[in-house]
Amino acid sequence: MYRKINFVIIVLILFLIMPTSAFCRAKGVVKHLTSITGNKEIGRFGLPGGLFFDENKNRLYFTDTTNGRILAFDADFKYISEFTGGGALTSPTSIVKDSNGKFFVAEPAKGHILKIDIGRKSIKPINFSAVPGANPVHPGNMAVDSKDHLYIVDKANQRILLFDSNSNFKKNIPVKESRGLIDVKVDKAGRIYALSVIDGSICVYDDQGNFLLKFGSRGADKGEFDFPTSLAVDRKGLIYVTDQHKNKILVFNNKGRFLYAFSQLGWREGRLHRPSFIYINNSGRIFIVDRANTRISVFE
């Protein structure tokens, strides 16, 4: 009897001292924080493309693909500025930023990854001439690791291209026996995660590009994908995947075991309509490109 009472007391104490967000995440519940939408100052959003959170400056950047611009917001999600490159950006999608402040923006329609140094007013495409392959590079989503190495999805050749911190091509990582490579992320340990949309698989590689694990499949059951579009990895190693047709985020552990899902189809705050991209910053905030709702949804 006393043991039961003591156990209840301990649970109550933990509930009171644990931060709400941490308790919710442990229980598989994710709380909607806010949404970023167009307004009179910014104008109407077109199709949001990709996004990136700069931990050094505590700023959020995302691309407005339709309007050819990058939008910047502070840590409180207040609008700071826009960048168009004087018309150099036409249909920007994926965006990342290295520790030296240089942006990399994908322009798939042109087959380019643009390297942008705003301070020096320099915009130039990365040189793909050293990249081998039968098909021309068709760039997609990107990631940057702690060493400023750049990882680029090459949709045409089903591989990930790796460039060093000086934007020199190093090697490619083939994503074998998967179909429809669409996204790449790199965790703090340097592990590489590749998501394929057609077969719904996630391949994991070590920091040298050696294969470690594959999981995921298409289907209607819990933990199966309908149309996965993007993935992210948090500091605990949990893997979050957006499913554009299920309008949910599916969460897996680092072994690929399904844990839970959150959100559902809807238009009001906290619900999603055709989510297309996900990013998780170091503080655990989850940023989702809620594409058909034309907004960025933020969860924690």
Give tens-digit pLDDT for 224-248. 999 999 999 999 999 999 999 999 9
Q: Which residues of 211-220 are buried (b: 16+ CB within 10 A; e: fewer)?
A: eeebbbeeee
Tell me: pLDDT of 82 over 50: yes
Tell me: pLDDT of 17 over 90: no
Cβ 3 vs Cβ 11: under 8 Å? no
Predicted structure pTM score? 0.90
Q: How is domain 24-299 classified at the architecture level of CATH?
A: 6 Propeller (2.120)
Q: What is the pLDDT of residue 40?
A: 87
For residue 9, which phi and psi values (nearest 5 degrees)?
-65, -45
Give tens-digit pLDDT for 270-282. 999 999 999 999 9
State the Cα angle at 165 between 162 and 169, rounded to 5°. 35
Tell me: pLDDT of 7 over 80: no
Give tens-digit pLDDT for 30-65. 999 999 999 988 998 999 999 999 999 999 999 999
- Tokens 């690929």 locate to 256
